[in-house]
Structure 1
């Protein structure tokens, strides 16, 4: 609604802006269309603005409403805004600037920030899972643990982590307070991300944090408290056999091997006997308190056998609390605004002695010091404490919980930790001891980040902006390694104390100049030019010392009082550390042109210079061009209620990457130490002189990995603005992959440099769909769905290499799990393909000749059909990359009640269940045994067995080779969140002066539907900086633990 009076050539215009239900739109932005002249409304929605000569329209934007442009014919212009009914009218931050979503020609995913708060987590990356199309996220249940984030698949042999920009400065999602976030966008293609050059090759996540709004001071509290429930209630999910079943399986393995049963714990003969007590030499019967003469009580560990069986998972997993408390204060006016928040987050892990504690504070301010000059700052500080946990490796407590023999209790008869010190019990460690000894491990981080900025509008169409910001980060850690005397192995290793410190400082100085103008009401032109300087410097140092005086099984000696100055002078001492410095300087420009609100053209170019390359290869230029056609604005397009907006867009561009290279790769490095650089100058071994040795070979020819990205998309708004739909196809070709140069196999020498050799390719489809509807005026609903797929393959490898094996945590035992080969997806599992079990001697004779073949053992596929099973028969049999992932969010609102749920699915991904290597072949390590091995292993009477024959040998045809025996379907569907809320009517809150009070119940991970037999089919990489080993379960901290919380949102 617009009222007006007489017109002037140049005049001051006043008015009032109202939003939904005619409420004052406090903090709305009123801009003279086509210029940078703008102001904000006050607490009552009023504004005053100077309308330049020749201008007669205003554009008004306000959160939650459609952008509106009105014609001004007098001195007064009142505007009534409509609630946003389509996402196409949203204003989106797209890199150093903002655009209406309908004008974007690149690939940008916009995240519903409100939905992020439905997930009770301290890591924003986890909350993003399934919320943005084209983004694949693998999470971990470990508090403060790593998260794998990929935008449109694997983009490098090294890290594929995207660039994160927070308020214009590089940052990290892992430690961000979710309550501070105003908006999140993901730039996925070259058209959107090339403005960030080499840093944007893996995609860009842009986060804008909250600012104060015009009007009265608003104080808010948001908090929840709840509990987390371990997977399977903390009981072992692997169906581990009890003590008697384990003994039966061990004795049967002797019989099946043609041996007379003889075991130090279970005795001789076909019927095993469970001992009363376990000593270092053998099993014993009788209570040592009744007949002490049988036992050396003062020199040996005596353990009472657990005849029922110890549930090791139950011993190390327990329900654990989680809580978050956030207070924010914000306000603003014509001259300034501010936003302040304080947050406390505390998540105790369900696994013993794991946790994340974080304290954070933010203050954002803006000051209009003159009519066209603005200055401000964004500052964030946090402290976090989260001890390390060896996720995804054989040595962590979860791994030992399914390996440890169940006859062993947690403690021996003296109250010390029990273990495998006696014969015939395997070599696993006591999981409780592992976690209890880690009680005093420390890992702390302090960080200050943010920026200062200034903006100047001049000559009507120009805006200059400068921003200087960065991060100061300090971290420290310490841990004490106790001698585990109770173990069968390494029980004489000296104890050791390790301590380390590090710091990282980086700064980013960005300067931009923007020109924005509208010509003849048809030509909309915006030009951005800028420069950016980035510097990163970090340094770390750590030391360790051994042979401290402690009581070995008594933690009364406080590791927190240890120091590197104590310990034995004859103990082993180690130190390490060093600096790392990189710099980047860039010039960039972007042009956006729109004609008649129908035809859109955008072009970007960025020139980057990086210190990681030699001077002759230091600079690269990365351009992109995109175009869009709003077909629905054409005159020939039929007017219809079911197609409200239709846009076709596409583009192509080039990006560089430096995500897989060291800072000193271009240079030869020399070092010195006692082992490698003492030289016998005189030749008599009497006068050794300290010199230097070559530590690294440099390579001045190394240059950028280069990504060529093509994207085609279709955006539509349908059915009276109720449905928004987006569909995209992309192709991403990455050339010049950085690999370590191959060394001379006959020599041992310096570290080889990275060289450009090899190509990979990704293609895929992204899609998103949202639907807003209502059953009645009091009953509304929203549905949002995302779809992500990517198909990757290796195109070429370094010259002379047909394949490259890729190691992993279990490779030393059964060979590499994956390898790189042209035409094959990255991460594909490679080994022997199991086609069944040999059923008889005749079956062995008729089959291809296979080493150690015998009835009941694994039968491998003869891939080359030559009648012999050998290395040439190894093949690809599984792919950890999903066919697609999808997320579905459902929201319902009925009067003052609200309900929402979020489902996430991954389909078509394969998993290697490495746990079965330990529990299905118990003879190898004499540890825990699966019930499948006990009740469903091969015998002449059980030919359709699931597990090979129980026997005492480990050989080629059982478990010394990597094979598809461990392959499982890793597809899953998870209910990530479920929320019920009630908002107290405003009339009831006036008595306490409150503006809003919402009480809610929140649940997470209520179910996981999967055929995978392990803890959790969602598995992060064993190495977050290596994209070739994932989908392998070595003992992962599960991310599907149930969570139940109660929370409130209160504002004044």
Structure 2
């Protein structure tokens, strides 16, 4: 595939448009000069924006709050705005001097909101846009802002991975695709894939664009909504210094309720006896009851008692070159090893942030440095980040502005587990799979494990964590943009912005020899990898803004945008290292055999776009907006590269009507609606092309009639789909924004319906295409899906006891979404996913929600032989085993009797944010809940059934399972047998109620008196203490009801890295 930009044939067009937008300047008409001051609470407001309404003529107030502005002829109003203060519109008349008094924003409808390529006062927005209160985000200590969004915005659901530094799963209004359902992030005008690398302390504002009217200006990438982030900038005036710091610890909480050593011995005997089998005597003796050994391993023998001559410490020998011939001795832990406690820790978290900002009339700057360091609750696991930001702005002339935003970030991590929802082969998985009689170390301080007979095949998770402690993942990211704005011809502003990111990643890991397990790694290996990625975005736009006859407000926006990203990766592996010492971890230090090297370029991906928007307001009552964007993407074939995405919206400010004048309690009411289309191109950049690769041993020609030729060729690795085209979301949204009771109450309500057509779906490739191609099929437009739901936000604020009494504010967020798959590929009604040792947990089928659970419904446990005899035919049915529902009534339990058991999608989620202050004290509380979702608890397969790899088991299995005298038990019989009627089928036994209500945050703060601070030249100082995840109300029996997973198969708990309880102390100081 040609790596050149496919749209590069149009450089002259792009450059010419940029040249026109920046330098086409008309002569100014007659003007008059107006001066004035801007104050709030009798204090000057520095850095306020003063604009002539209906033009691009503007200025900013100086240190004393004063301003001077030239007003074009015919213009009669000034608009003054400042973050956190209510926007004021002032009539000029014949005045040449104007004094303006600003007041604090009493309603979010007066906030200036950054939307697609421009900004608007929220009361004039006709789309569905939510403004995130950044001050609330900062109340949750986190490495990234995505996890802080949980419960803060109606229509947004967030599931946390819980590993330090990782991106949370963010969904805006549910699901609209089988692939990536995450939103598009825009940071300072530049699109990025996520915000995990953004320092939360640098965020000035954040908006969420939810419907087509608000988001379709971003076209092909906006199908899942858009989150716009603006970083902090300096303001005119003296130098301001801010220092923020916190330190605390996270606790891992309690693990699973598992057996101790004696209980495990008792269960072993019970399970073998219930299965009619002879009890193994290796570890627990030959008597009538089990007894615990003193040693579980001596050489190759197990179950030894003190004084046994086969236990000879003088023979102890560990030989990594002859692991099978080693003589190890492991003393039994009779009290029982709590493996969860062994692999978890109280983990410290630290953050330091310092910023320097200021400016003069023509320049503003902000510099910040942030250090974040968090240990995970898993031992030897951490995330560390350093972030430097420099933002500057300059007024070259009154009508010309330039600026830049730059962030440099480096981070390092050692993440032990695969992901936040760990599987059976990771440290958390081994924590419930290891038997309690196994200690962490043997008699010589080396690691112990399942090498002892009859103790399963789990690995020592402490040993694995220690061996991976020196592995590293390191990244360097440089992100930013430069921009210029020119005001010309009274009403026009041209802007160009060029930005992007450079990312360099390096990782290395060493795979040690092991000796303590029943299944050991007898060799060692070292792997190192490096990747680089570059992406740039160039945006050019021109804006026209004018007011006619004081009643007609018009904004017209037109622009172009070009995006391209590309990169390379390389990795190498070497085996046979003579030593495992870290000093020799290099690719040239291993043995001669087993050397491998891999490298590949990333397929370039490019996008070119043209977009436009018209906003119109009549008499501050009737609002309308039209948006259109046309995108061309290299991810599709030549016939389908271009897509057009229009949107229309309207609004009616009812309270501006004459008939509402006497409705005093309703201060503002806006009714709005929208209809539009958005696109999705999140597929393999090479989806339209056939790809071929060459590799030793996998693409060798059989030239000489043998099967072992060394002549290397190529094999097909990907079968492309040149007919693939855009996925299209058609969205309708209706809602209202209301302000009541003199601004004390605000309500925002939306109801929406979203239909996804031509949904991109991976169709299995033909096996004849090759193993690589078959495992990585192309996307085809063969499916459709619909979503509908409600977003509700209610805010209440006020005070108790007068002006000097208690001030408070509260916000309730309520979100619902309903999802349904409406079509799949021709001839395909469903596809199954999320495989496990007993089958697939999830079925995605037409007429059902994405990621629905599917299996046999358990209607009870067979109480006795009579009930077994009377039941439908069922393989291996017996007293104490599951009884399944005969769904089709044919008298035989077969796969046709399986049903949809539940869904991980909640009926609704909600958040409640409460803040209060009295004098210098403040308190903040945040609660979050999810209702109506189910969870498949896969951990129960490991701990509630005896034959599941001889690991540790739950206390319920020993004490509460079925027996002939306990026929109403909810857990099947404890037996050493594995079959369809107990633990060999996906069924509703594993299904649990995943609803929960959690106190996410409690903060208590105290601001030191200004009379004290003034003596040491400190503007403000606050100290606070904070607790997170303080309590959870749930019926779920696993570690945590917040389950992380892939979009089409989430909701399965394989051993969750839980949300941690944190306690910390912090300070905020401003100079």
Note the C-alpha offset of 1:805.
1.1
Greater mean deviation of Cα atoms: 164-173 or 464-473: 164-173
Q: 2:72 aligns with which of 44, 48, 52?
A: 52
Q: Secondary structure at the match of 2:104?
A: coil
- Per the alignment, do residues 324 and 676 of structure 1 end up closer, same or farther by CA in structure 2, a change over 3 Å counting? closer
The within-5 A match list for 1:456-467 is: 456-467=486-497
The within-5 A match list for 1:257-276 is: 257-276=275-294
Note the C-alpha offset of 1:228.
1.2
Match of 1:66 in 2: 86
The within-5 A match list for 1:1034-1045 is: 1034-1039=1054-1059, 1041-1045=1060-1064
Measure the CA separation in 2 of the matches of 1:44 and 1:66. Answer: 19
| Equivalent pair of 1:924/1:952 in contact (CA under 8 Å) | no
Q: What is the TM-score of this pair, normalised by structure 2? A: 0.94
1:481-527 per-residue CA deviation (whole Å, 9 max, x = no partner) reads 112221112x1442211110111100000000000000001100000
Q: 2:46 aligns with which of 26, 32, 36?
A: 26
Note the C-alpha offset of 1:296.
5.0
Q: Secondary structure at the match of 1:844?
A: helix
The within-5 A match list for 1:264-663 is: 264-279=282-297, 281-287=300-306, 292-293=311-312, 296-298=315-317, 299-388=326-415, 389-391=417-419, 392=421, 393-489=423-519, 491-550=520-579, 557-559=580-582, 561-571=584-594, 573=596, 575-659=598-682, 661-663=683-685
Match of 1:554 in 2: none
Q: Secondary structure at the match of 2:44?
A: coil
1:358-406 per-residue CA deviation (whole Å, 9 max, x = no partner) reads 0001111100011100000000111111123312222111111111100
- Per the alignment, do residues 812 and 116 of structure 1 end up closer, same or farther by CA in structure 2, a change over 3 Å counting? closer
Match of 1:665 in 2: 687
- Per the alignment, do residues 1044 and 536 of structure 1 end up closer, same or farther by CA in structure 2, a change over 3 Å counting? same
Note the C-alpha offset of 1:687.
7.2
Q: What is the TM-score of this pair, normalised by structure 1? A: 0.95
Measure the CA separation in 1 of the matches of 2:250 and 2:225. Answer: 33
The reply to whether residue 940 of structure 1 matches residue 958 of structure 2 is: no
Match of 2:266 in 1: 248
1:127-152 per-residue CA deviation (whole Å, 9 max, x = no partner) reads 11111111110012211134111111
Measure the CA separation in 2 of the matches of 1:165 and 1:382. Answer: 18
Note the C-alpha offset of 1:684.
6.5
Structure 2: unaligned runs, 5 residues or longer: 1-28, 318-325
Measure the CA separation in 2 of the matches of 1:99 and 1:145. Answer: 33
Match of 1:81 in 2: 102
Match of 1:170 in 2: 191
The reply to whether residue 955 of structure 1 matches residue 973 of structure 2 is: no
Match of 2:116 in 1: 95
Q: Secondary structure at the match of 2:430?
A: helix
Measure the CA separation in 1 of the matches of 2:313 and 2:490. Answer: 98
Measure the CA separation in 2 of the matches of 1:459 and 1:817. Answer: 64
Q: 2:926 aligns with which of 898, 902, 909?
A: 902
Measure the CA separation in 2 of the matches of 1:446 and 1:476. Answer: 9
Measure the CA separation in 1 of the matches of 2:506 and 2:1008. Answer: 46
Match of 2:8 in 1: none
Match of 2:812 in 1: 785
Measure the CA separation in 1 of the matches of 2:1054 and 2:1022. Answer: 43
Note the C-alpha offset of 1:226.
1.1
| Equivalent pair of 1:587/1:606 in contact (CA under 8 Å) | yes
| Equivalent pair of 2:304/2:311 in contact (CA under 8 Å) | no
Measure the CA separation in 2 of the matches of 1:599 and 1:345. Answer: 48
The reply to whether residue 1047 of structure 1 matches residue 1066 of structure 2 is: yes
Structure 1: unaligned runs, 5 residues or longer: 1-7, 551-556
Q: Provide the aligned C-alpha RMSD in A.
A: 1.7
Match of 1:106 in 2: 127
| Equivalent pair of 1:135/1:152 in contact (CA under 8 Å) | yes
Measure the CA separation in 2 of the matches of 1:11 and 1:902. Answer: 52
- Per the alignment, do residues 163 and 484 of structure 1 end up closer, same or farther by CA in structure 2, a change over 3 Å counting? same
1:51-105 per-residue CA deviation (whole Å, 9 max, x = no partner) reads 1111121111112221111111311000011221111111100110000100111
- The count of aligned residue pairs is 1024
Q: 2:732 aligns with which of 710, 734, 739?
A: 710
- Per the alignment, do residues 875 and 296 of structure 1 end up closer, same or farther by CA in structure 2, a change over 3 Å counting? farther
Q: Secondary structure at the match of 1:666?
A: coil
- Per the alignment, do residues 289 and 50 of structure 1 end up closer, same or farther by CA in structure 2, a change over 3 Å counting? farther
- Per the alignment, do residues 9 and 195 of structure 1 end up closer, same or farther by CA in structure 2, a change over 3 Å counting? closer
1:741-796 per-residue CA deviation (whole Å, 9 max, x = no partner) reads 33346875634422111111110000111111100212110001111111101100
- Per the alignment, do residues 474 and 746 of structure 1 end up closer, same or farther by CA in structure 2, a change over 3 Å counting? closer
Measure the CA separation in 2 of the matches of 1:449 and 1:492. Answer: 42
Match of 2:24 in 1: none
The reply to whether residue 1017 of structure 1 matches residue 1046 of structure 2 is: no
- Per the alignment, do residues 579 and 945 of structure 1 end up closer, same or farther by CA in structure 2, a change over 3 Å counting? same
Measure the CA separation in 1 of the matches of 2:871 and 2:582. Answer: 60
- Per the alignment, do residues 313 and 677 of structure 1 end up closer, same or farther by CA in structure 2, a change over 3 Å counting? closer
Measure the CA separation in 1 of the matches of 2:406 and 2:770. Answer: 49
- Per the alignment, do residues 83 and 848 of structure 1 end up closer, same or farther by CA in structure 2, a change over 3 Å counting? same
Measure the CA separation in 2 of the matches of 1:289 and 1:989. Answer: 75
The reply to whether residue 11 of structure 1 matches residue 35 of structure 2 is: no
Measure the CA separation in 2 of the matches of 1:499 and 1:943. Answer: 57
Match of 2:173 in 1: 152
Measure the CA separation in 1 of the matches of 2:493 and 2:511. Answer: 58
Q: Secondary structure at the match of 1:450?
A: strand
Measure the CA separation in 2 of the matches of 1:1011 and 1:686. Answer: 59
Match of 1:967 in 2: 991
| Equivalent pair of 2:311/2:329 in contact (CA under 8 Å) | no
Match of 2:13 in 1: none
Match of 1:693 in 2: 715
| Equivalent pair of 1:276/1:283 in contact (CA under 8 Å) | no
Measure the CA separation in 2 of the matches of 1:286 and 1:690. Answer: 60
Match of 1:765 in 2: 790
| Equivalent pair of 2:716/2:770 in contact (CA under 8 Å) | no
- Per the alignment, do residues 287 and 707 of structure 1 end up closer, same or farther by CA in structure 2, a change over 3 Å counting? same
- Per the alignment, do residues 836 and 83 of structure 1 end up closer, same or farther by CA in structure 2, a change over 3 Å counting? same
- Per the alignment, do residues 986 and 262 of structure 1 end up closer, same or farther by CA in structure 2, a change over 3 Å counting? same
Match of 2:142 in 1: 121
| Equivalent pair of 1:260/1:268 in contact (CA under 8 Å) | no
Q: Secondary structure at the match of 1:690?
A: coil
| Equivalent pair of 1:346/1:355 in contact (CA under 8 Å) | yes
Note the C-alpha offset of 1:288.
6.6
Note the C-alpha offset of 1:291.
7.4
Measure the CA separation in 2 of the matches of 1:746 and 1:41. Answer: 71
Q: Secondary structure at the match of 2:391?
A: strand
Note the C-alpha offset of 1:845.
1.1
| Equivalent pair of 1:657/1:705 in contact (CA under 8 Å) | yes
Q: 1:988 aligns with which of 1012, 1017, 1020?
A: 1012
Q: Secondary structure at the match of 2:840?
A: coil
| Equivalent pair of 1:9/1:54 in contact (CA under 8 Å) | no
